[in-house]
Structure 1
Amino acid sequence: MLDTFKRYSNTWVAKILMALLILSFGLFGIANVFTNLGSSSVARVGNQSISAVEFDRAYRQQLNNITRQTGRQPSPEEAMAFGIPGSVLNQLASNAALDQMVADYGIGASDEMVSEMIAQDPNFATTLGVFDRAQFTQMLRQNGFTESEYIDAQAESVQRSQVIRGLFGGAMAPATILQISNRVQNDTRTIDYFTISTNVLDTIEAPTEEQLTTYLEQNQAQYRAEAKKKIDVLVLTPESLARSLEASEEELRAEYEAAGDQLTTAETRNVTLWRLNDDAQAATLVQGIAQGQSLDQILAVNNFGISATPLGQITRDQIEDEAIAIAAFDGDKGLTIADAATGKVAVMVRNIVPETQLSFEEAQEQLLARVNAKKARDQILDKIDEIEEQRATLRPISEIAAEVGLETQTIEITQSGVGLNEVNDLPAEGQERLLTAINNAEQDALLPAVTIGANAMAWFDLLEETTARDLTLEEVREELETAWLETQRAQALAEKADALVAQINDGTAIFDVASEVGQIAQPSLPLTRRGDGSFITANVASAAFSGGEGHADAVRLSDGTYLVFQVTGITAAEPSDIEQDNLIALSDSVADDLYQQFITARRDDLGVSINQGTLNQILSLDQ
């Protein structure tokens, strides 16, 4: 059956149809039939229904993906603006169109195929790569699947893949596309080139008052004071609450009795390093130590030209290179060779001082932190409720904070968030939420608490608002003068580069043009459109490939200098240069294009009906 599909897809009739069916599938722009399909269905493609449960699951997964990336779940309106519902329905409609073909032609999927597919999914595997049923069950539960639903979904996926492979698995890129791609990838050119910087320019005088005024007017948008708000803010986290608490000696001693054996000094070792020049030196050291020689004897006999780097008596955490840390702390005294990031390193360990348990007096600070952290975890929710009750009385947050033993901060925050990093104890994941609340805040209004993390809240009062305004010349004079001069130099250098190119185009040899500005033109290595792998970058190569032999141009580099060049040679790629990886990639691209055209035509042929009422309910949109 699949061979029949494949033969049909290679006929001239199919190719003509494929060439015509290029119009994209816009879910809400095509001539859909909006009708009542029943509350359990969102849409129907041919005889295949897309259930509300199926759409809701796929839609929620997309929202969760965006939430993980941005830290915030988009609202229904934002999701619609992003095109998420359309993207989800588009994919489900494609699957339904394939499912119709599966049903029409009786394509199946054996239990063995489905079982193998699930067993090989790395999402369900242990660190050793073995299928873990407990992890499988947990992930299904997290994503809203029962086991039977997931197995059925995977069976359908296997069936669809058989259709796709049968139709498009053997599609090959035409020879013309391969040859064009080969030329684009592997044609080479050579250029003569030199670079110029602002050193070739005459001195540019400082700007006049009139020039500065004009420049500021033209670029005023870059010189504005942001709108900002002055707030009193209280941030409550388990950590900040813990610092406000006290603990009795009885509590500290009880904690010491329970966990004193965990309160220890870190092990220290006296470590000295010798950074070796090569593997031969490492082998000589190892051999000498094995023969009973001391390190001093080995270094005295062999002129290694290396010196010791004593690190002193240190803890493991003080060594940045993990390989050196392992060599120094995972063994006993003596010499070890470590494969460090910078090369072979000889590590000598002396005077090991093992970790020891701290006395009660020595552990006071750690005990206090542990006791108060436990208290904070137990009290945080009650403290949040207490502040919220006080907040309902419309009292300033500074008064409430003082009453409950906490402190507020008075700080100015700009509309873009400048100043947020000065808010004590504010978690990174809570910064965007707090900034949004501040930007939306209005004076003389009761402002709600802001959730800034797990068991973490923030409250603030808006004290003062400053609107955005244009900065005056006096406020930005120094900065403006620097920017004006940089602009003038950049413009003058661009004009100089163009003038040099014009000289080359007029027939002056590039070597003579370079000499006029104190430079020496030099030939490049053969370069492709990606550059030469060293100095000549892709943007320079692109300019070089935009003209034939003798073509001259100048390209601005990332550091502001200009590279002036002239094309001296063109070499076309040989057909034998086509790489197998490139052939596979192009053929896969052709197959994907054919599939997209085919599935679009298939959906249009079957017809798509959408249950707008059920869809709106899932999307939480107004009817």
Structure 2
Amino acid sequence: MLTSLRKGAASWLAKILFALLILSFAAWGVGDYLSPEVDDAVATVGESEIGAEEFRREYSRQFNDWRRRFGGNMTPEMAAQIGLPQQVLQATVRRRLVELEAGRLGLAVGDGQVRRAIEEDPNFGGRLGGFDRALFERVLLTNGLTEGEFVAMLRRDLSRRQVDRSVGRPVQASRSMAEAVFRYRNESRKAALIRVPEDTALPADPGEAELRAWYEANRDGFMAPAYRTVTAIVLDPDQWLDRVQADPAEVREVYEARMADFTVPATRRVRQVLFDDEAAAQDFTAQLATGADLETAAGNIGRTVSDLGPVSRGQLPQAALADAVFSLEGDGVTGPVQTPLGWHVLAVDQSTEESTIPFEDVREGLHREVAREIAIERLADLANDLDDQLGGGATFEDAARALDLSLLTLESVDASGRNRAGEQPDGLPAEPNFLRTAFSTPAGEDSLLVELGDGGYFVLRVESETPPAVRPYEEAKPLVLEAWRAERLDEGAKARADALADRLREGRTPESVAEGRAVERTGPFTRTEAKPEIGLSRAVVQAVFTARRDEVVVARAADGYAVAVVEGIEPPSHSEEEIETIREQLSAEMVEDVRQQFHAALEDRFGVAINRDLLAQFN
């Protein structure tokens, strides 16, 4: 149906009929069906609303800006992943809060200020300089604004700027603060480490009563996620390959058209020696011409041989090098060749000539590609038919029977795609949008027809939902036993580490208490450095930097615990430039902190309510 409408709409007769249809709707007063008004607000700020249309315009502007940055490759899915809808709404809410505060303070913007702002705006400047009235009107027309609307927007913007300027005045961080931050970031410490791993032998299992009591004391650790049971119709092109047949002649045509993909370029193994001047390169080439070994000759003059490996013409970085290498007939030495890097002497061997992968070697893969394209085309038509069936009131079951489609039933899956057994059920589409749709569609309702990223489609119905709940003991028992064992192993390692630490605090050396364990001397490290392979985990680093010199600390490491003795604290040296750089960073952060606190205070004063359901439509 959708395809038919698109084709039909291309004719003049169809366009005339559509025009008459629109006029008839307008005459009957039901124009809302053609351009529905959206009354919902994405957010309410104080007593004002940020309407869906206002938000959509701002979101579209920001989305298009991102698309230009990414060269047109930005998609709505990518925008949702980086949180663009939330970012746009946050910025819009903040602007509205500042506007309300400007009104509360009675800040007025006179006509003269507005006039000057327009006349000084470079967007309205003509070729000869100065304000261009005609250009001003064209810009407003292009953006769908009347002069009155633009002036009102500008007046609000100017009043908002007055508030922003008063809040965002420069703040200068003190030198002592910058020095303290520098010390914190760059101070280094040294420690002696003794690792205490967990036992490899599992503890004896507890009795049933003990395990059940432990479960009752730790019930919150055995929460089951929300589960949903879903019925879906999935049109997957990969599952339709057995229903289509690719024409062998078409497969051959694809092979011929993509011959460049199946052509293996000629290659040469290239080794090179690089020189700064031509004379030295000439002397070296002459030595090789007499039969000298490349590696030996290069070593004799303190030069390094670079082995570029087998390379094609296109893989060589300079055309001059490629011409020299591929002009040789067989193995040999060529050069010197000059490039911006210097003078190259090149030794060439292990030559292979250009070849073509035979059709028979790729026929099966090409056949599948062609068949898949046919399947995608057929599924597009089938998706239209399915949409028509469901739009006409057919149930999933009726539509599936009418179109000879299969129903997919997924019993109790969570948002990660796993069932109660922790397994991924058969038939679950790999497309992430399937699960997102399954968990954003209200229980008992149908989704819209949604495209799969691989050329397919799906529509689903959420049959039921089980909210998150504590797993019953019998169901969770394997997990309970595993967690109980892990706790016992952790407790044992911690007790042994604490005993080691107590002996070290008595003044004994790490080697005397290690009991055969290795003692690692870390060397200097900062707060941001960790070396888990020697037991210097993030937790150990944090513990060492909260301790004094010669103090003993115990912290979690990757395979158990680590006992550390702080053996050295080294304050960093700094330059004036480093301190000034940090002062600038701190000053900018302090200004931003003031802004954040100001906006938070405005939220408390005016109140902000977000329509999460409406915002979710942009994700």
Q: Give the TM interval when normalised to the shorter protein.
A: 0.5 to 0.7
Equivalent residue for 2:554?
Answer: 554
Within a 5 Å distance, the mapping from 1:426-465 to structure 2 comes to 427-434=431-438, 440=443, 450-453=449-452, 456-459=456-459
Equivalent residue for 1:267?
Answer: 263
**Which residue type is aligned with residue 492 of structure 2?**
A
Offset at residue 487 of structure 1 (A):
2.6
Offset at residue 96 of structure 1 (A):
6.8
Equivalent residue for 1:134?
Answer: none
- Where does structure 1 lack aligned partners over 5 or more consecutive residues? 1-26, 35-41, 44-49, 118-136, 338-344
**Which residue type is aligned with residue 177 of structure 2?**
I
Does the aligned pair in 2 maintain the 1:266–1:356 contact within 8 Å?
yes
Q: Secondary structure at the match of 2:564?
A: strand
Does the aligned pair in 1 maintain the 2:549–2:568 contact within 8 Å?
yes
User: 2-side partners of 1:409 and 1:375: how far apart?
Assistant: 19
User: 2-side partners of 1:176 and 1:440: how far apart?
Assistant: 59
Q: Secondary structure at the match of 1:495?
A: helix
Equivalent residue for 2:204?
Answer: 206
Offset at residue 191 of structure 1 (A):
4.4
Q: Secondary structure at the match of 1:194?
A: strand
**Which residue type is aligned with residue 428 of structure 1?**
P
**Which residue type is aligned with residue 385 of structure 1?**
D
Equivalent residue for 1:244?
Answer: 243
Does the aligned pair in 1 maintain the 2:58–2:88 contact within 8 Å?
no
User: 1-side partners of 2:519 and 2:357: how far apart?
Assistant: 68
Q: Call closer, same or farther: CA 1:512–1:229 in 2, change over 3 Å.
A: closer
Q: Call closer, same or farther: CA 1:541–1:323 in 2, change over 3 Å.
A: farther
User: 1-side partners of 2:409 and 2:439: how far apart?
Assistant: 15
Matched, 1:509 2:508: yes
Does the aligned pair in 1 maintain the 2:94–2:599 contact within 8 Å?
no
Q: Secondary structure at the match of 2:262?
A: coil
Does the aligned pair in 2 maintain the 1:557–1:563 contact within 8 Å?
no
Equivalent residue for 1:46?
Answer: none
Percent of counterpart pairs with the same letter?
Answer: 15
Q: Call closer, same or farther: CA 1:461–1:85 in 2, change over 3 Å.
A: closer
Equivalent residue for 1:520?
Answer: 519
RMSD across aligned positions (CA): 6.7
Equivalent residue for 1:497?
Answer: 497
Does the aligned pair in 2 maintain the 1:552–1:564 contact within 8 Å?
yes
TM-score (norm 1): 0.57
Does the aligned pair in 2 maintain the 1:274–1:306 contact within 8 Å?
no
Within a 5 Å distance, the mapping from 1:527-546 to structure 2 comes to 527-531=525-529, 539-546=539-546
Matched, 1:350 2:351: yes
Within a 5 Å distance, the mapping from 1:13-162 to structure 2 comes to 34=47, 42=48, 57-58=57-58, 68=77, 88-94=92-98, 103=109, 106=113, 108-109=116-117, 114-115=122-123
Q: Secondary structure at the match of 1:493?
A: helix
Does the aligned pair in 1 maintain the 2:183–2:572 contact within 8 Å?
yes
- Where does structure 2 lack aligned partners over 5 or more consecutive residues? 1-42, 67-74, 126-138, 338-345
**Which residue type is aligned with residue 566 of structure 2?**
Q
Does the aligned pair in 1 maintain the 2:178–2:579 contact within 8 Å?
no
User: 2-side partners of 1:287 and 1:63: how far apart?
Assistant: 59
Q: Secondary structure at the match of 2:560?
A: coil
Q: Call closer, same or farther: CA 1:229–1:106 in 2, change over 3 Å.
A: closer
User: 2-side partners of 1:488 and 1:114: how far apart?
Assistant: 71
User: 2-side partners of 1:592 and 1:164: how far apart?
Assistant: 11
Q: Secondary structure at the match of 1:561?
A: strand
**Which residue type is aligned with residue 267 of structure 1?**
T
**Which residue type is aligned with residue 206 of structure 1?**
A
Does the aligned pair in 1 maintain the 2:537–2:558 contact within 8 Å?
no
Offset at residue 433 of structure 1 (A):
1.5
User: 2-side partners of 1:214 and 1:287: how far apart?
Assistant: 86
User: 2-side partners of 1:195 and 1:70: how far apart?
Assistant: 48
User: 1-side partners of 2:574 and 2:552: how far apart?
Assistant: 26
Offset at residue 236 of structure 1 (A):
1.0
Does the aligned pair in 2 maintain the 1:194–1:522 contact within 8 Å?
yes
Deviations 1:546-600 (A, max 9, x none): 3434432112123433132235546487795952221101111233345566788
Q: Call closer, same or farther: CA 1:258–1:409 in 2, change over 3 Å.
A: same
Does the aligned pair in 1 maintain the 2:95–2:160 contact within 8 Å?
no
Q: Which moved more, 1:94-103 or 1:541-550?
A: 94-103
Offset at residue 67 of structure 1 (A):
6.4
Equivalent residue for 1:173?
Answer: 173
User: 2-side partners of 1:426 and 1:171: how far apart?
Assistant: 51
Does the aligned pair in 2 maintain the 1:228–1:415 contact within 8 Å?
yes
Q: Secondary structure at the match of 2:171?
A: coil
User: 1-side partners of 2:601 and 2:476: how far apart?
Assistant: 65
Q: Call closer, same or farther: CA 1:269–1:57 in 2, change over 3 Å.
A: closer
User: 2-side partners of 1:173 and 1:609: how far apart?
Assistant: 32
**Which residue type is aligned with residue 551 of structure 1?**
E
Count of equivalent residues: 518
Does the aligned pair in 2 maintain the 1:232–1:398 contact within 8 Å?
no
User: 1-side partners of 2:285 and 2:144: how far apart?
Assistant: 61
Q: Which moved more, 1:220-229 or 1:551-560?
A: 220-229
Q: Secondary structure at the match of 2:519?
A: coil
User: 2-side partners of 1:235 and 1:552: how far apart?
Assistant: 61
Equivalent residue for 1:583?
Answer: 583
